[in-house]
């Protein structure tokens, strides 16, 4: 019995050794440490896996080995970062003109009153406690709440961006400052170069590179690189790394999504979403093929069309909601992942400053300033004025989990007759 167990353990350790050699070869690391690069320029094959008859003891040996390996690597990377600490960054440069959405919005470069900073530690403890209690409350139910992390398909983990250099995982939520947080993650992970030098200022990174999926190392890419070890690695990182997300009032987020995707000329969203909406809900039969021609002809999706699309049961039978209006609990899985930091767009400046301090990277960069004309919660009454109350109530039920989980009050004034 002892010989058989020793044999199984030797097979496991031999497989691990081969994996390390393959990683060293593929990623051109040069030394056999477990630093997980974020560049996907080279194809990766299927890695060796543990034999099925290895048993629970063998898998626990794998977990312990990987955990020690990953932990020692993270400490080494942090130590190296401290030895070569760069000088304090200069003030962020203003974004280069050329992107319509950022030009329309503009940036708020005004200074903040230091006396207005909230008690961040207490605030974060309250937000985390709210999530824990609601996830444990059996009387509060919503789709996917009861499943485990292992039950989440890989394709639903594509919003979890990993920075192995600093031990950070960020779940990005579109329309919640995600462009600038992605820029921050690029700077921290050094995953994007400018003439051979990593970007040091988030606002220097062009928007088209920020949203290029190949720029970021996300959980859904683990399988391609680490095969059946991917879930074990994910769990180790979730245990050891600092995990954060930023959220926003769900209805205001919908307004913001509508403004940026349908009030501005966006060819992709016009063809994928606006044309079907105009045909289904505005009774248009013949529509221009380009968004510029449609706008010139006065053919635009109304906010009412958009709400009908969200409430239409046929919509998600065809495909899941687009990420810009998909619920946060479906993007970030807050009942399966215990987040260390929950930021809100409504307190973005204070939350961002506090988070960078917690991550001990405030000396490396500044979070970019807020937009001047960010969609505000005070606009809700105007935007929903022409939306029937019955639709508003249906819409609230659709996004109720996000309201409750993240502590946003029920918009009673919108839901009353």
Cβ contacts of 412 within 8 Å, gap of 6 or more:
none
Q: What is the pLDDT of residue 1?
A: 55
Q: What is the pLDDT of residue 369?
A: 84
Name the β-bridge partners of 242. 168
Q: In what order do the strands lie in the sheet containing 242-247?
A: 160-163, 168-171, 242-247, 341-344
Name the β-bridge partners of 226. none
**Distance from C-alpha of 334 to C-alpha of 357, rounded to nearest angstrom:** 23
CA angle 97-98-103, nearest 5°?
A: 65
**Distance from C-alpha of 95 to C-alpha of 199, rounded to nearest angstrom:** 14
Q: What is the pLDDT of residue 381?
A: 87
**Distance from C-alpha of 417 to C-alpha of 388, rounded to nearest angstrom:** 9
Q: What is the pLDDT of residue 118?
A: 56
Q: What is the pLDDT of residue 92?
A: 42
Tokens 């190392």 locate to 217
Q: What is the pLDDT of residue 330?
A: 98
Residue pair 259/174 in contact (Cβ under 8 Å)? The answer is no
Virtual CA dihedral for 374, 377, 380, 382, nearest 10 degrees?
-60
Name the β-bridge partners of 198. 193
Write out the E strands in 308-389: 341-344
Task: Say if pTM beats, i.e. exceeds, 0.95.
Answer: no
Main-chain phi, psi angles of 333, to 5 degrees = 55, 60
Q: What is the pLDDT of residue 360?
A: 96
3-state helix, strand, coil in the chain (%, to 5): 55, 5, 40
Q: Is 167 strand, coil or helix?
A: coil
Name the β-bridge partners of 218. 161
Half-sphere exposure in the Cβ direction for 47 (13 Å, CA): 26
Residue 297's H or E segment, with its range, is: none
Residues of the chain below pLDDT 70: 1-3, 7, 11-12, 15-118, 370-374, 376-377
Tokens 């990683």 locate to 23
Q: What is the pLDDT of residue 33?
A: 32
* Rg of the chain (C-alpha set): 24
**Distance from C-alpha of 294 to C-alpha of 286, rounded to nearest angstrom:** 11
Residue pair 49/223 in contact (Cβ under 8 Å)? The answer is no
Cβ contacts of 137 within 8 Å, gap of 6 or more:
none
Burial string for 32-46 (b: 16+ CB within 10 Å, else e) reads eebebbbebeeeeee
**Distance from C-alpha of 248 to C-alpha of 232, rounded to nearest angstrom:** 31
Q: What is the pLDDT of residue 104?
A: 44
Q: What is the pLDDT of residue 227?
A: 87
Q: Which two tokens stand for residue 398?
A: 């659709």
Q: What is the pLDDT of residue 377?
A: 65
**Distance from C-alpha of 222 to C-alpha of 234, rounded to nearest angstrom:** 8
Residue pair 165/77 in contact (Cβ under 8 Å)? The answer is yes
């Amino acid at each position: 019995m002892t010989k058989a167990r020793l044999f199984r353990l030797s097979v496991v350790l031999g497989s691990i050794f081969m994996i390390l050699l393959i990683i060293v070869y593929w990623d051109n690391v040069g030394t056999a440490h477990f630093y997980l690069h974020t560049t996907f320029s080279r194809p990766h094959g299927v890695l060796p896996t543990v034999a099925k008859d290895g048993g629970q003891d063998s898998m626990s040996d794998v977990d312990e080995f990987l955990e020690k390996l990953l932990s020692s690597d993270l400490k080494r990377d942090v130590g190296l970062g401290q030895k070569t600490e760069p000088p304090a960054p200069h003030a962020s440069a203003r974004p280069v003109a050329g992107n319509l959405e950022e030009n329309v919005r503009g940036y708020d470069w005004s200074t903040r009153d230091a006396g207005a900073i909230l008690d961040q530690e207490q605030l974060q403890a309250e937000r985390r406690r709210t999530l824990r209690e609601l996830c444990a409350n059996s009387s509060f139910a919503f789709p996917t709440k009861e499943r485990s992390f292992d039950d989440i398909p890989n394709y639903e983990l594509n919003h979890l961006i990993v920075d192995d250099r600093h031990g950070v995982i960020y779940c990005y939520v579109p329309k919640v400052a995600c462009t600038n947080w992605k820029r921050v993650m690029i700077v921290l992970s050094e995953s994007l170069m400018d003439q051979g030098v990593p970007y040091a200022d988030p606002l220097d990174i062009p928007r088209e590179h920020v949203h290029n999926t190949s720029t970021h190392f996300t959980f859904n890419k683990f399988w391609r690189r680490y095969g059946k070890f991917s879930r074990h690695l994910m769990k180790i990182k979730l245990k050891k790394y600092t995990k954060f997300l930023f959220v926003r009032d769900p209805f205001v987020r919908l307004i913001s999504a509508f403004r940026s995707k349908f009030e501005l000329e966006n060819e992709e969203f016009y063809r994928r979403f606006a044309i079907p909406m105009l045909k289904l809900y505005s009774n248009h039969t013949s529509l221009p093929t380009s968004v510029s021609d449609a706008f010139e002809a006065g053919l635009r999706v109304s906010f009412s069309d958009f709400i009908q699309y969200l409430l239409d049961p046929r919509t998600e039978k065809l495909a899941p909601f687009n990420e810009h209006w998909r619920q946060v609990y479906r993007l970030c899985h807050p009942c399966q992942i215990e987040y260390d930091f929950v930021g809100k767009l409504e307190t973005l400046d204070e939350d961002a400053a506090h988070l960078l301090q917690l991550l001990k990277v405030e000396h490396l960069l500044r979070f970019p300033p807020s937009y001047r004309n960010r969609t505000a919660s005070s606009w809700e009454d105007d935007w929903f004025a022409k939306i029937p109350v019955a639709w508003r109530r249906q819409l609230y039920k659709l996004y109720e989990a996000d309201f409750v989980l993240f502590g946003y009050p029920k918009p009673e004034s919108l839901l009353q007759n």
